[in-house]
Amino acid sequence: MIDTLLFQPERLGAALGLLLGYGLLCAGCARQARRLARDAGGHARRGDDGTPPADHASDRAWPPASAGPTAFAAGSADPAGPDWLVAYASQTGTVAAWAEQTARLLRAAGARARVASLCELTPAALAREERALILVSTAGQGDPPDDALGFASDCFERDGALALDGLRYGLLAAGDSDYPVFCGFGRWLDHWLLAHGARPCFERVEVDRGDATALALWQRRIGALAAREAGPGTVIASVASVPGPDAAAGTDADARAATDVDDGVAPGNDAATFAEPAFSPWRLVARHRLNPGSIGEPVCHLLLEAPDADARGWQAGDLVELRAPGDGGRARRYTVCNAPGADGRIELLVRRHRRDDGGIGIASGWLTGGLAPGGEVRLRLRAHPSFRIGANAGRPLVLIGSGTGMAGLRAHWQARADAVASAGAAAPAAAPVWLLFGERQRERDAFFADEIAAALADGRLARADLAFSRDAAGTPAAAPRHVQDLLHAEADRLRDWVDAGAALYVCGRLAGMGEGVDGALRELLGGAAVDALARAGRYRRDLY
């Protein structure tokens, strides 16, 4: 999930070496940045079904149970010493949760620690820090998460003019080796820090899909740092005793409140240990194909319910994680297609995936055909903080997407309609919603066409613009139209909505649509304006 015009370095001569290559990164060359990251060791292939890559890190428990009690001194670090900054960049909240746990480990040792997203920081602010622990995920094809795009842009602008020689740091890079550029952003950031004089406290820790061994190593590194700073004769604590945000008031004043439903911890998690919620046995109630006769693969709308009807705590924009038989226990993620309702049911939108060798993806094939109505699906809900409504609850919404990206868009316009109705607002136009969506053919691939028409009629949608790439746009020779073309066609309206405070939500495939939409927005609004929207949480993306 990346601004492809942003995260790119100049081609460097081999003699400069990898370190200087990363030190001379500049904006405007994504393909070359990815090439450098591959040279640093990125590898592997794209996953089976093209499901959202999220943080490219599994949400396994951290600290892992296998780590055992890591000993460190508690309560004796010099409180007058400099704070530890625990900074993170996280697409879905997994790494953000690890950052919170890292801060709790430091606080348990008597150190002062504060947690901040990279979207709240600038390189200049980082240069004023003395000690930092930085945890970052990688998104897309080796790119920064959306909440780090502004920071990365600032790094390029300040490149060569910033000294970090007063900073000591430790870095955790989370990734998924099934994607082409493993830990690409984390590796780039580590080299950028080194090139500007920062001194590592220990070697970079890379976590592949939530690997328990790597997370245990990070835990030991933090314990060792805390122990070195603590005085002799102190009480020894273990990870199991570290209080979480659910602890009694006063035991962890800096932790997020237990009532904060947008804390990046998936519904049902124990916040103190990050123990995973179990996969629950959901049931397939109904499945309907939305595109019969389409030239593309089948797209199915699935309705699922939990036997115990207990699926509370999720929001529009969240994900589900499920396991399909024969898929080696791998968890696949899909964006929920509806807003929460009283019945607790969830809806999914799944396209059958056709692999390059002609085979069908295991999970998508099962969900779109192999799973019989009434059959069991092992599933759990996952929070997706960066695609939730958050502080945009009262803003106009511009919902942009294509294909199965309709799932996240539909969930948001339903949630907005529910919020307006519950508030008793007489005029939904007070917080209007504009949908821009693209698919192949109007006749075969107009997903939820009746719902969209009804929403336009009653005001739940203020406007809907649709593009169909395989339909002729007026003449047989006309070029296909994509959703990014709609942005150009409605450029003045788009600027008016943004000026009125609108938030932009983009959902769908990164390749083609996601990159094209981002490029169009930067062309129409200006790159600096788009970066400012992202920093303000008004440009949010769920791309896969």
Tens digit of pLDDT for each residue in 116-166?
Answer: 999 889 999 999 999 999 999 998 778 899 889 889 888 877 666 789 999
Q: For residue 17, give every residue at least 6 positions away whose Cβ sits within 8 Å of its Cβ, in sequence order, or none.
A: none
Is 277's pLDDT higher than 90? no
Residue whose tokens read 């948001």: 412
Of the listed ranges 211-220, 446-455, 471-480, the one predicted with least confidence: 471-480
- Do 14-241 and 280-383 have matching folds? no
Residue 278 carries which DSSP code?
Answer: P
Specify the pLDDT at position 295: 92
Q: Give the angle 250-273-131 at the CA atoms, nearest 5°.
A: 70
Spatial distance between the Cα atoms of 354 and 333, rounded to a whole number of angstroms: 17
Specify the pLDDT at position 207: 93
Residue 368 carries which DSSP code?
Answer: I
Strand order in the sheet with 346-351: 331-335, 319-323, 376-382, 280-289, 299-305, 346-351
Is 517's pLDDT higher than 90? yes
Most confident of 25-39, 160-174, 214-228, 484-498: 484-498
Specify the pLDDT at position 479: 52
Q: Pairing between strand 331-335 and 319-323?
A: antiparallel
- 492: Cα within 13 Å, side-chain hemisphere: 0
Specify the pLDDT at position 223: 86
* Chain centroid to CA 225: 29
The radius of gyration of the chain's CA atoms, rounded to the nearest angstrom, is 23
Q: For residue 369, give every residue at least 6 positions away whose Cβ sits within 8 Å of its Cβ, in sequence order, or none.
A: 298, 352
Q: What share of the chain is helix, strand, coil (3-state, %, to 5)?
A: 35, 20, 45
Compute the average pLDDT of residues 481-507. 96
Is 225's pLDDT higher than 50? yes
DSSP string, 15-69: GGHHHHHHHTB-SS-HHHHHHHHHHTT------SS----TTSS----SS-GGG--
Residue 277 carries which DSSP code?
Answer: P
Specify the pLDDT at position 264: 32
Long-range contacts of 238-242 (CB under 8 A, 24+ apart): 238/69, 238/70, 238/71, 239/63, 239/67, 239/69, 239/70, 239/105, 240/69, 240/273, 241/108, 242/101, 242/104, 242/105, 242/108, 242/272
Query: What's the chain's average pLDDT?
Result: 78
Cα distances from 258 to residues 88, 177, 192, 243, in angstroms, run: 20, 33, 36, 12
* Chain centroid to CA 129: 27
Is 67's pLDDT higher than 50? no
Specify the pLDDT at position 430: 61
More confident residue, 340 or 9: 340
Give percent above pLDDT 90 in the chain: 54
Specify the pLDDT at position 271: 32
The residues spanned by each domain of the chain are 14-241, 280-383, 386-543
What is the number of other CB atoms lying within 10 angstroms of the CB of residue 427? 9
Cα distances from 183 to residues 77, 142, 174, 205, 315, in angstroms, run: 33, 6, 6, 10, 29
**Does the structural domain 386-543 have CATH classification 3.40.50.80?**
yes
Compute the average pLDDT of residues 36-48. 34
Question: What is the tally of helices (H) and strands (E) in the chain?
Answer: 15, 19
Under the banding of pLDDT at 50, 70 and 90, the label for residue 64 is: very low
Give alpha helix (H) positions in 389-482: 406-423, 442-445, 449-458
Compute the average pLDDT of residues 359-364. 96
Nearest to 210 by CA among 106, 88, 54, 85: 54
Specify the pLDDT at position 60: 38
Compute the average pLDDT of residues 485-514. 96
Specify the pLDDT at position 2: 32
Specify the pLDDT at position 310: 57
Strand order in the sheet with 539-543: 463-468, 433-439, 397-402, 503-508, 539-543
Exposed / middle / buried, residue 292 (Cβ in 10 Å: 0-12, 13-18, 19+): exposed
Residues 156 and 29: beta-carbon distance below 8 Å: no
Give the SS3 label for residue 354. Answer: strand
For residue 520, what is the enclosing H or E element?
A: helix 515-525
Under the banding of pLDDT at 50, 70 and 90, the label for residue 471 is: confident
Is 113's pLDDT higher than 50? yes
Specify the pLDDT at position 367: 98
Residues 214 and 202: beta-carbon distance below 8 Å: no
Specify the pLDDT at position 309: 55
Domain 280-383 class in CATH: mainly beta
Give percent above pLDDT 70 in the chain: 72
Compute the average pLDDT of residues 276-286. 87
Under the banding of pLDDT at 50, 70 and 90, the label for residue 421 is: confident
Under the banding of pLDDT at 50, 70 and 90, the label for residue 481 is: confident
- Predicted TM-score (pTM) of the model is 0.75
Is 281's pLDDT higher than 90? yes
CATH fold for domain 14-241: Rossmann fold (3.40.50)
pLDDT tens string 527-540 = 999 989 998 999 99
More confident residue, 457 or 78: 457
Specify the pLDDT at position 91: 84
